Amino acid sequence: MSNDLLKFVSIDQSMPAKREASDRLKDFDEVYKEFDIPSAQEQSSRCSQCGVPFCHIHCPLGNNIPDWLRLTAEGRLEDAYEMAASTNNMPEICGRICPQDRLCEGSCVIEKDFDAVTIGSVEKYIADTAWENGWIKPIKPLVELDQSVAIIGAGPAGLAAAEELRKVGYQVHIYDRHDRAGGLLVYGIPGFKLEKDVVGRRTGRLEQSGITFHLDFEVGREASLAELREKHDALLVATGVYRARGLKAPGVGLGNIREALDYLIASNKKSFGDTVPEFESGALNAEGKNVVVVGGGDTAMDCVRTAVRQGAKSVKCLYRRDRDNMPGSVREVKNAEEEGVEFVWLSGPEAFLGDENVEAVRAYRMRLGAADATGRQAPEPVPDSTFTMDCDLAVLALGFEPEDLPSLFDAPELRVTRWGTVTVDHGTMMTNLDGVFAAGDIVRGASLVVWAIRDGRDAAECIKKHLQKQLSEAA
């Protein structure tokens, strides 16, 4: 065993330096600074190189984490990046936004007594180093194939599938309704978690690799699904899920009660320098307002931390369970608290109060009762426990559901489940329409970026087999 490893007993866990909260609130730049080479090597050397690496098993992508940690500890950074990129199309993005505390780091075998290896920070470091040193080049297929693939959606699932298909030489066209590629990576995740030039490097590389992007292109408006099928040899639906889950409560229709994604998109567009009328009018701007965010996932964390940066008067997060049962990242909750966000645990909205616009939220205390079907304790209201909070802007971050794709795509023949997700054969990832595949959140429901990348890679393999079968049958 190399002397560069097994140092977790003598070296403490260490994260990259974190900017002070007072400085973070002045901009939307990322919170954590970069590791330097000695720090990255030192933290990588804490890996125990265990025989059964649970970090690898609990990574949706099956990343070879101990291998690239060993290479980093030995100073072989280019080899470490090649190892990381062999299973992950976006290691620098996953290193920034994956909930490592719930995945790889949370499963690290040394975590119990010595604190986990800081896997995400090392992953980010080696990928950023690869970009800085020019090790990441445009894709140059060995052969150019005549068959073409259409991908609907330029989010992580679509981008991962596009890259894998382009490596083989297929002609890949990505159609997306937004004016920038990246999906929620660009418009749904704030810059303090993922600076947008990081996403732009990836999409730019794909464009340089010969992948064609058709932006501001809405399927069902510019072309129907049937027209795209006629134009291409295979098609992948990777739209993600964007429709917000509703909330039934008195007053929910008042002004200044907004959906989380509308709020985040407006903020991100403003960061790009775009003209955003609803931001300028104050409808999607938290400056000087008492903000209440309802929800407890990572999207809620994005909203509360965006609001404090916009200069909100106060920001409260209303969540029906306690801290231990919150679905959002523990690290994100801690960062939000440092930045001045107040968490109102075990509380739920009873009504929104006001005349035309919301002026207050009436809420009630909750307690955790018997476990539900998922094994989590179900929250239930505490009688006679109502209280009121001032509120000039309420943001609902209750998760996302699929849009009605058969109607949106002018494709009533496309089969969907009773939840609105696209029905696929899970062995082939093909829908009920021949040559039409689906992957990512539009199949599994709202989930993590790392799962979308995995699904996109799997879909690319299924599409390759389908196209090869087409050729053999035509021969």
pLDDT at residue 443 is higher than 60:
yes
Give me the pLDDT at residue 10, please: 58
Residue 349 lies in a domain: yes
Q: How many domains does the chain have?
A: 3
Of the candidates 316, 251, 256, 313, the one whose C-alpha atom is nearest the C-alpha of residue 283 is: 256
Tell me the β-bridge partners of 258: 395
Give me the pLDDT at residue 73, please: 92
Residue 251 belongs to what domain range? Answer: 244-396
Quick one: 261 and 389 in the same domain?
yes
pLDDT at residue 317 is higher than 80:
yes
Q: What is the DSSP string of 317-348?
A: EE-SS-GGG--S-HHHHHHHHHTTPEEE-SEE
Give me the pLDDT at residue 327, please: 86
Quick one: 319 and 345 in the same domain?
yes
Quick one: 268 and 378 in the same domain?
yes
pLDDT at residue 454 is higher than 90:
yes
Contacts of 193 (CB under 8 A, 6+ apart): 30, 31, 96, 97, 302
- pLDDT, tens digit, 9 for 90 and up, residues 356-374: 999 999 999 999 988 877 7
Residue 375 lies in a domain: yes
Residue 318 lies in a domain: yes
Contacts of 8 (CB under 8 A, 6+ apart): 46, 47, 48, 110, 114, 117
Quick one: 419 and 386 in the same domain?
no
Residue 139 lies in a domain: no
pLDDT at residue 264 is higher than 70:
yes
CATH of the domain at 45: 1.10.1060.10
- pLDDT, tens digit, 9 for 90 and up, residues 48-83: 888 888 899 999 999 999 999 999 999 999 999 999
Give me the pLDDT at residue 265, please: 96
The angle subtended at Cα 89 by Cα 301 and Cα 182, nearest 5°, is 50
Query: What phi, psi does 311 have (nearest 5°)?
Result: 90, 35
Quick one: 42 and 85 in the same domain?
yes
pLDDT at residue 1 is higher than 50:
no
Quick one: 362 and 414 in the same domain?
no
Residue 15 lies in a domain: no
Residue 9 lies in a domain: no
pLDDT class of 316 with cuts at 50, 70, 90: very high
State mean pLDDT over 3-28. 79
CATH of the domain at 320: 3.50.50.60
Of the candidates 73, 98, 94, 99, the one whose C-alpha atom is nearest the C-alpha of residue 84 is: 94
Quick one: 249 and 391 in the same domain?
yes
> The dihedral of CA 317, 278, 445, 151: what is its sign?
negative
- pLDDT, tens digit, 9 for 90 and up, residues 376-388: 888 999 999 999 9
Amino acid in the structure at residue 388:
T
Residue 3 lies in a domain: no
Quick one: 258 and 236 in the same domain?
no
Quick one: 259 and 381 in the same domain?
yes
Contacts of 18 (CB under 8 A, 6+ apart): 31, 32, 33
Quick one: 363 and 452 in the same domain?
no
Boundary residue ending a domain (132, 160, 182): 132
State mean pLDDT over 444-471. 96
Residue with tokens 């919301």: 358
Boundary residue ending a domain (132, 162, 186): 132
pLDDT class of 102 with cuts at 50, 70, 90: confident
Quick one: 199 and 248 in the same domain?
no
| Parallel/antiparallel/unpaired status of strands 358-371 and 377-390 | antiparallel
Quick one: 170 and 232 in the same domain?
yes
Give me the pLDDT at residue 3, please: 54
State mean pLDDT over 96-110. 89
pLDDT at residue 4 is higher than 60:
no
- pLDDT, tens digit, 9 for 90 and up, residues 265-293: 999 999 999 999 999 999 999 999 999 99
Crossing angle of helices 156-168 and 449-474, in 10° steps, is 40
How many angstroms separate the CA atoms of 284 and 281, rounded? 8
How many angstroms separate the CA atoms of 440 and 115, rounded? 32
State mean pLDDT over 167-173. 98
Boundary residue ending a domain (108, 132, 156): 132
The angle subtended at Cα 396 by Cα 443 and Cα 421, nearest 5°, is 10
Residue 12 lies in a domain: no
